[in-house]
């Protein structure tokens, strides 16, 4: 049972400030019930040291077998963010050149890598509803999206508690695909966290996670006290353009 904020579901459905009508509200409840029955929430996280070094972009470094990836996959927003002084981050064998991630992790010596999923249940329910009740498929989609966020918050909270027990604080979680942190790093997450073995998450050829309601993230830990840390979307540089951003609410 994962607690879901229904307002989030309405927001994903595009209602903005409006309240859905009774029929939609009823269907949202029905879909939430179906999802709660069919989900198999799982997670994995582990802590790794992070190292930040300044090198020139494009320089090949060390023999970890992982090639340096910078712009590939960052898509349309990559070029406007490129600066000359982007530090290279080394985490668990990954080498990441991302301005937004390095900003997020500034001053951190350690990070958690996490992955969380609701399992294939939501994907099956959505595929099934798409055959006969497209309206229900759309509501399931929104409800499952809100649910994976809540699940990530729960997992994130465990990490926050674990860090707190060592007198440390967490940064907001940051996922591949946010800002200029390329989506291709999903492959490294998959390998480092053994995501398929441990939580049943695999990647498609184009680095999409399956089950689709899955999230990976980096969570920096630091000695400085942090403000609101449970919300990934505030740190995303696309949030002003994103249809699902909380900023407009």
Partner 1 sequence: MTEKGTGKVRRPLLERLGKEWLFFDGGTGTILQEKGLKGGELPERWNLSRPEDIIDLHCGYLKAGCDIFNTNTFGANSLKFSRENGELKQIVEAAVALAKEARRRTDREDAYIALDIGPTGRLLEPLGDLSFERAVEIFGEVVRIGAAAGADLVLIETMSDSYESKAAVLAAKENCDLPVLITNVYDSSGKLLTGGTVDSTVALLEGLRVDGLGVNCGMGPEQMIPIVQRMVETASVPILVNPNAGLPRAENGRTVYDVGPETFADWMKKIAGMGVQAVGGCCGTTPEHIRRTVQAVRGTACLPGEPGKAAEVAGGSGAETAAERGVPFVPNTRKGRTVVSSFSRAVEIGKKPVIIGERINPTGKKKFKQALRDNDIEYILSEGLNQEESGAHILDVNVGLPEIDEPQMMAEVVSRLQSILPLPLQIDTSDPAAMERGMRLYNGKPMVNSVNGKKESMEAVFPLVRKYGGVVVGLVLDEDGIPETADGRMAIAKKIYETADRYGVPREDIVIDGLAMTISSDTKGALTTLETLRRVRDELDGHTILGVSNISFGLPQRSVINAHFLTMAMQMGLSCAIMNPGNEDMMCAYRAFLALSDMDPQCMGYIEAYANAQRTTVTAAAKAGSGSSAAGPSDKTGTSPGGTSAEGTAGGPALPDSAGMSLGDSIRRGMSKSAADAARVLLEAGTPALRLINEELIPALDYVGKGFEKGTIFLPQLLMSAEAAKAAFEVVKESMQDEKQETKGRIILATVKGDIHDIGKNIVKVMLENYSFEIIDLGKDVAPETIVETAIRENISLVGLSALMTTTVVSMEDTIRLLREKKPDTKVVVGGAVMTQEYADSIGADCYAPDAMATVHFAEEVFARSDHTAS
Contact residues for partner 1 (CB under 8 A)? 13-15, 18, 20-24, 26-27, 29-30, 33, 40, 42, 45-49, 64-66, 73-76, 92-94, 119-121, 123-124, 126-128, 130-135, 137-139, 141, 183, 188, 190-192, 194, 196-200, 202-208, 210, 212, 243
Residue nearer to partner 1 on the CB measure, 104 or 141: 141
H/E stretch holding 131 reads helix 121-132
Residue nearer to partner 1 on the CB measure, 14 or 84: 14
* Structure-token match 């963010």, residue found: 81
Instruction: Supply the minimum distance, in Å, between the C-beta of residue 227 and partner 1.
Output: 26
Residue nearer to partner 1 on the CB measure, 74 or 160: 74
Instruction: Supply the minimum distance, in Å, between the C-beta of residue 145 and partner 1.
Output: 11
Determine what percent of the chain falls in helix, strand and coil, rounding each to the nearest 5. Answer: 40, 20, 40
Please, is 78 exposed, middle or buried when counting C-beta atoms within 10 Å of its C-beta (0-12, 13-18, 19+)? middle
Residue nearer to partner 1 on the CB measure, 3 or 67: 67
Handedness of CA 68, 230, 18, 26 (dihedral sign): positive
Instruction: Supply the minimum distance, in Å, between the C-beta of residue 134 and partner 1.
Output: 5
Instruction: Supply the minimum distance, in Å, between the C-beta of residue 85 and partner 1.
Output: 25
Do the beta carbons of residue 113 and residue 189 sit within 8 Å? yes
The residues, ordered by sequence, that sit 6+ positions from 146 with a Cβ below 8 Å of its Cβ are 4, 5, 6, 8, 9, 12
């Amino acid at each position: 049972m994962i607690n879901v904020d229904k307002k989030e579901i309405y927001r994903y459905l595009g209602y903005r400030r409006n309240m859905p009508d009774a029929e939609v509200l009823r269907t949202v409840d029905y879909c939430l019930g179906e999802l709660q029955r069919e989900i198999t929430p799982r997670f994995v996280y582990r802590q790794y040291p992070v190292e930040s070094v300044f090198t020139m972009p494009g320089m090949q470094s060390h023999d970890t077998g992982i090639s340096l990836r910078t712009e590939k996959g960052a898509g349309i927003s990559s070029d406007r963010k490129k600066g000359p002084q982007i530090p290279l981050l080394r985490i668990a064998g990954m080498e990441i050149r991302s301005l937004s991630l390095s900003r997020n992790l500034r001053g951190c010596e350690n990070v958690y890598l996490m992955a969380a999923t609701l399992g294939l249940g939501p994907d099956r329910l959505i595929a099934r509803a798409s055959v006969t009740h497209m309206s229900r498929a759309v509501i399931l989609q929104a409800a499952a999206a809100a649910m994976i966020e809540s699940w990530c918050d729960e997992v994130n909270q465990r990490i926050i508690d674990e860090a707190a027990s060592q007198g440390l604080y967490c940064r907001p979680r940051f996922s591949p695909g946010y800002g200029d942190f390329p989506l291709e790093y999903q492959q490294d997450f998959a390998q480092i966290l053994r995501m398929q073995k441990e939580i049943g998450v695999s990647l498609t050829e184009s680095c999409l996670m399956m089950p689709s309601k899955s999230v990976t993230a980096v969570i920096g830990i630091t000695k400085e006290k942090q403000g609101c840390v449970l919300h990934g979307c505030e740190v995303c540089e696309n949030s002003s353009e994103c249809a699902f951003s909380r900023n407009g609410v």
